[in-house]
């Protein structure tokens, strides 16, 4: 094999293609976010000064443009930010004067913890109800299970959150999220109380698609030849359920779980707001309203990297649950 | 037991973790007041602070030369007394004795000079610069200060109030410490700021006024008002700032609700430089088609006061002193016909639903009411920064706006309606009459004469239907029953927490 062939073989190998695809995705996202933020009206000065921007003199505006780094051309702004980001310097939040890296280091664990709790609760509820439904398709239990799935899909998170908050506070005088947020390692008991309800709300949202996926995957697998063979060989029902049916239905469930976990990382803004959790959703939302470009851009890149990492982990789990994929 | 049943039971029991067996931690015994607010602060420099949340918090840590009392009267603050010369071009101030900054240094004329000069310096980008731009020099020593003005300007006294006119330590200014540390003369000392979570303050034991009773004050960021109310009901916070009438109406008897008509006002700003609103008859037609009481009922659940242009209590406009105090569709039709729009017309208004609680309701109700008069109001729904950006550029035909008010009508409108005002592009209107009236108002020192001038300004604004002034929303403060002594202020300031006690 010639040197050229060897190089082209390496370049076309799966890991290299995969890495190339990841890098190009991240690059595309960085360009997209950068441009979207510049296209929408308003800038960091308007975000910081609001209507008082109108009383600033042209000299003051010029000074502030330099301060916010928006006096340069768009390509220069992008390159400057990207250069900093690639060297680990995500920039500074102008409103707090704190580095975005340290803000993210505080907010990200909150969001990851919330997403994990939501996903675990959602998967447990989803698989349980999906299995419960699939055991007797068309029966009342199936109807009840599907009704749960529909309701979980239909009830918006903010309605469920507000209802829980209102009932707990008014009837039981209990709203742990009214206290300052406590991290898991500072006070696990209080942290659990503060994460419990938002986790449950997200869990219910995750449970619906997981339940529907589980149900259809199980129904598809239960008719497979190997299941009939196992039953025919006299394997006990429990083993058939877990080792043959559930295990062989896991691929779509894992896929759905991965997607849902990814969405939870970026999509828990409303729940974070209602339950006053200082996570990434709030960080990004606040930065968007104030047009803190570097904070939004860097935070979105962190989300993107995490989302890609989750996809990679999901792929690895595929290989674990279905050895055929290794081949 | 079958797997599906086990899983079902496990999942249900996991969900039941939400059971309510947990017990909230016991309340601390010391006098610690936790205040629920929806927005975090965004800076520590009082001169450049513009967001309500920042101004509110910094107002507890800094002091200004004068203060606004509960009846919106000007009271002594760090200045014990003052006097103008005969033509209101010089203001002499006698400073209060024994006032100290939080770092223990004494407050004197040097600090006043340095603070006012900092506000006037364009490099500071101070929010109040335009209000005191007529100051030409600040001199003095010890406890005496002389402020010289370029033109007669009696309203300058009111302009010396507020967080944006905070008195800072001259040493801190020289050392470029402003915005990095908080060293004021206010009733509370700054302790810490955890962005997105809380701001902590502690008692200033050497505060110049009555002893402060609270040991600490913590502003806790709870982004939704419904959750703030929940926290109040659960007892995890004891005080809150609310803006939504819907939430305020849910405050139960277990709490004290303070309801104060604010100085700010909600208005439909009309841009008289844009067709078809450049025609006076069109603007008057719009004015006559709107029932303000209905807007209040629909958008603010009846929780607001119908107002005219000037909301400053001493100069307040009579809301009935306008061409159409009540809705009059016959007049609307006549005005439209006179303007050449007998078949109706269409115009667009920008609105930002996230800007304030009643924005959407106001815009929708205006649209519905105008539709009855054959006027099609199209709503351009924008996020806040986009809205502000277009508003500042005057890039709109109309804007549903919630503008801040001031205790003096000059500082309230001098940047909008005089042709030289730096927000005149936003006001969308100017006239020689208006310019002359504002100059006259500035130069007039006597209260009775000033009232006449500002009444004329109010009538000029209404008769030309410059904007459609609608209502003044209430300021709400909700507090636990054990919070005593709080005095609400229409300015939105929480300075009276200095007299609050926790029983």
Question: Complex ipTM, two decimals?
Answer: 0.78
Instruction: Say yes or no: A29 contacts chain B, CB-CB below 8 A.
Output: no
Average of per-residue pLDDT across B495-500: 94
Which residue on chain A is closest to B394 by alpha carbon?
Answer: A54
Question: Predicted confidence band at B5 (pLDDT cuts at 50, 70, 90)?
Answer: low
pLDDT cut 70: percent of chain A above it: 98
Q: Per the CB < 8 Å rule, is A60 touching B125?
A: yes
Instruction: Say yes or no: B51 contacts chain A, CB-CB below 8 A.
Output: yes
pLDDT of residue B15: 46
Which A residues in the span 295-324 are in contact with B, Cβ-Cβ below 8 Å?
A: none
Cα–Cα distance for residue pair A47/B388, rounded to 1 Å: 9
DSSP for residue B181:
B
User: What secondary structure does DSSP assign to A32-55, as a single string?
Assistant: HHHHHHHHSS--HHHHHHGGGGGG
In this complex, the residue of A107, A124, A193 whose CB is nearest that of residue B11 is A124
User: What secondary structure does DSSP assign to A44-90, as a single string?
Assistant: HHHHHHGGGGGG--HHHHHHHHHHHT-SS-HHHHHHHHHHHHHTT--
pLDDT tens sequence across A193-242? 999 999 999 999 999 999 999 999 988 888 888 888 888 888 888 888 88
DSSP for residue A241:
I
Cα–Cα distance for residue pair B278/B428, rounded to 1 Å: 9
Answer whether residue B4 shows pLDDT above 70.
Answer: no
Neighbours of A9 (CB within 10 A): 11
Q: How far is B236 from chain A (nearest CA, A)?
A: 5
Cα–Cα distance for residue pair A126/A218, rounded to 1 Å: 13
Instruction: Say yes or no: A187 contacts chain B, CB-CB below 8 A.
Output: no
**Phi and psi (nearest 5°) for B401?**
-130, 150
pLDDT tens sequence across B393-417? 899 999 999 988 888 898 889 889 9
Which token pair is A111?
């969001």
Question: Predicted confidence band at B282 (pLDDT cuts at 50, 70, 90)?
Answer: very high
CB pairs under 8 A between A and B: 209
Q: Which of A221-230, B319-328, B367-376 is predicted with the least confidence, judged by mean pLDDT? A: A221-230
pLDDT of residue B235: 92
B350: chain A residues, CB-CB within 8 Å: none
Q: Per the CB < 8 Å rule, is B14 touching A54?
A: no
Average of per-residue pLDDT across B15-32: 53
Helix (H, G, I), strand (E, B) or coil at B166: coil
pLDDT tens sequence across B210-244? 899 999 999 999 989 999 999 999 999 999 989 89
The kind and range of the H/E element at A135 are helix A100-135
Label residue B174 exposed, middle or buried (CB < 10 Å: 0-12, 13-18, 19+).
exposed
Examine residue B276 and say whether the peptide bond preceding it is cis (omega within 30 degrees of 0). yes
Cα–Cα distance for residue pair A214/A203, rounded to 1 Å: 15
DSSP for residue B33:
E
Instruction: Say yes or no: B249 contacts chain A, CB-CB below 8 A.
Output: no
Q: What is the mean pLDDT of chain B?
A: 90
Which token pair is B206?
């050497």
Contact in structure between B189 and B91 (CB atoms under 8 Å):
no
Instruction: Say yes or no: A137 contacts chain B, CB-CB below 8 A.
Output: no
Answer whether residue A13 shows pLDDT above 50.
Answer: yes
Cα–Cα distance for residue pair B161/B73, rounded to 1 Å: 11
pLDDT tens sequence across B412-454? 898 899 998 878 999 999 999 999 999 998 888 778 889 999 9
Best of B2, B42, B354 to disrupt the A interface (most A CBs within 10 Å) is B42
Which A residues in the span 53-112 are in contact with B, Cβ-Cβ below 8 Å?
A: 53-57, 59-60, 63-64, 93, 95-98, 103, 107
B122: chain A residues, CB-CB within 8 Å: 57, 59-60
pLDDT of residue B52: 84
Write down how long chain B is. 503
pLDDT of residue A124: 94
Max CA distance (Å), chain A: 86
pLDDT of residue B122: 84
In this complex, the residue of A43, A56, A125 whose CB is nearest that of residue B15 is A125
User: What secondary structure does DSSP assign to B380-448, as a single string?
Assistant: EE--HHHHHHHHHTT--SEEEEEE---SSHHHHHTTTSSTT-TTHHHHT---HHHHHHHHHHHH--SHH
B4: chain A residues, CB-CB within 8 Å: 128, 131-132, 135, 241
Q: Which of A23-37, B3-17, B107-121, B225-239 is predicted with the least confidence, judged by mean pLDDT? A: B3-17
pLDDT of residue B23: 44
In this complex, the residue of B42, B220, B383 whose CB is nearest that of residue A95 is B42
pLDDT tens sequence across A140-158? 989 999 999 899 888 888 8
Answer whether residue A174 shows pLDDT above 90.
Answer: yes
């Amino acid at each position: 094999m010639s040197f050229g062939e060897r190089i082209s073989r390496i370049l076309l190998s799966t890991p290299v293609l995969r890495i190339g695809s990841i890098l190009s995705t991240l690059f595309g996202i960085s360009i997209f976010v950068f441009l979207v933020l510049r296209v929408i009206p308003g800038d960091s000065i308007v975000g910081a000064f609001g209507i008082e921007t109108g009383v600033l003199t042209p000299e003051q505006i010029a000074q502030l443009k330099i301060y916010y780094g928006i006096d340069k051309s768009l390509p220069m702004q992008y390159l400057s930010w990207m250069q900093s980001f690639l060297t680990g310097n995500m920039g500074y939040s102008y409103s707090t004067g704190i580095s975005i890296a340290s803000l993210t280091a505080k907010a990200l664990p909150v969001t990851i913890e919330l997403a994990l709790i939501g996903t675990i609760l959602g998967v447990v509820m989803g698989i349980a109800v999906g299995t419960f439904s699939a055991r007797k398709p068309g029966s009342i239990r199936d109807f009840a299970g599907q009704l749960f799935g529909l309701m979980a899909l239909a009830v918006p998170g903010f309605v469920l959150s507000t209802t829980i908050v209102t009932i707990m506070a008014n009837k039981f005088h209990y709203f742990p999220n009214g206290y300052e947020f406590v991290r898991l390692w500072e006070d696990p008991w209080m942290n659990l109380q503060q994460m419990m309800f938002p986790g449950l709300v997200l869990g219910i949202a995750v449970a619906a698609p997981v339940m529907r996926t589980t149900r259809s995957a199980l129904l598809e697998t239960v008719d497979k030849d190997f299941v009939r063979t196992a039953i025919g060989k006299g394997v006990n029902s429990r083993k058939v359920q877990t080792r043959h049916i559930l295990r062989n239905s896991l691929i779509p469930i894992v896929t759905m779980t991965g997607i849902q976990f990814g969405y939870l990382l970026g999509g828990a803004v409303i729940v974070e707001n209602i339950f006053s959790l200082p996570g990434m959703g709030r960080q990004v939302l606040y930065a968007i309203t104030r047009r803190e470009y570097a904070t939004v851009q860097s935070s979105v890149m962190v989300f993107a990297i995490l989302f890609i990492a989750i996809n990679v982990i999901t792929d690895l789990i595929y290989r674990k649950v279905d050895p055929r994929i290794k081949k | 037991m079958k797997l599906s049943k086990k899983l079902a039971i496990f999942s249900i029991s996991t969900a039941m973790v939400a059971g309510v067996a947990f017990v909230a931690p016991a309340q601390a015994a010391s006098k610690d007041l936790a205040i629920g607010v929806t927005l975090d602060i965004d800076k520590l420099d009082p001169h450049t602070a513009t967001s309500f949340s920042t101004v509110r918090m910094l107002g507890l840590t800094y002091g200004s030369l004068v203060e606004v009392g509960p009846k919106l009267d000007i009271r002594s603050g760090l200045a014990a007394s003052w006097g103008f010369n005969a033509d209101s071009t010089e203001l002499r101030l006698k400073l209060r004795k024994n006032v100290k900054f939080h770092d223990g240094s004494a407050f004197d004329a040097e600090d006043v000079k340095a603070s006012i000069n900092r506000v006037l310096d364009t490099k500071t980008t101070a929010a109040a610069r335009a209000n005191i731009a007529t100051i030409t020099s600040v001199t003095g020593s010890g406890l005496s200060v002389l402020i010289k003005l370029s033109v007669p300007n009696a309203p300058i006294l009111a302009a010396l109030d507020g967080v944006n006119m905070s008195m800072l330590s001259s040493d801190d200014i020289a050392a470029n410490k402003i915005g990095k540390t908080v060293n004021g003369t206010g009733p509370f000392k700054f302790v810490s700021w955890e962005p997105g979570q809380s701001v902590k303050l502690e008692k200033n034991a050497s505060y110049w006024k009555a002893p402060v009773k609270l040991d600490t004050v913590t502003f806790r960021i709870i982004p939704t008002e419904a959750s703030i109310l929940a926290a109040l009901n659960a007892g995890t916070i004891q005080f809150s700032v609310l803006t939504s009438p819907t939430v305020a109406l849910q405050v139960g008897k277990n709490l004290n609700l303070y309801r104060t008509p604010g100085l700010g006002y909600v208005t439909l700003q009309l841009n008289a430089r844009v067709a078809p609103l450049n025609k006076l008859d069109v603007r008057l037609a719009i004015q006559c088609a709107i029932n303000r009481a209905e807007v209040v009922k629909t958008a603010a659940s009846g929780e607001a006061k119908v107002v005219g242009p000037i909301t400053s209590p001493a100069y307040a406009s009579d809301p009935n002193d306008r061409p159409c105090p009540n809705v009059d569709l016959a007049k609307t039709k006549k005005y439209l016909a006179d303007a050449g729009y007998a078949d109706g017309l269409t115009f667009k208004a920008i609105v930002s639903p996230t800007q304030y609680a009643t924005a959407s309701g106001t815009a929708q109700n205006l649209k519905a009411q105008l539709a009855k008069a054959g006027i099609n109001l199209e709503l351009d729904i924008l996020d806040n920064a986009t809205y502000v950006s277009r508003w500042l550029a005057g890039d709109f035909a109309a804007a549903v706006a919630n503008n801040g008010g001031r205790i003096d009508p000059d500082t309230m409108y001098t940047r909008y309606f005089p042709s030289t005002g730096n927000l005149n592009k936003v006001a969308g209107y100017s006239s020689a009459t208006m310019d002359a009236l504002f100059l006259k108002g500035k130069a007039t020192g006597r209260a009775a004469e000033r009232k006449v001038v500002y009444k004329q300004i109010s009538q000029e604004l209404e008769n030309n239907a410059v904007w459609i002034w609608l209502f003044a929303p209430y300021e709400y403060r909700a507090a636990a029953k054990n919070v005593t002594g709080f005095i609400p202020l229409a300015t939105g300031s929480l300075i009276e927490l200095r007299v609050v006690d926790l029983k």
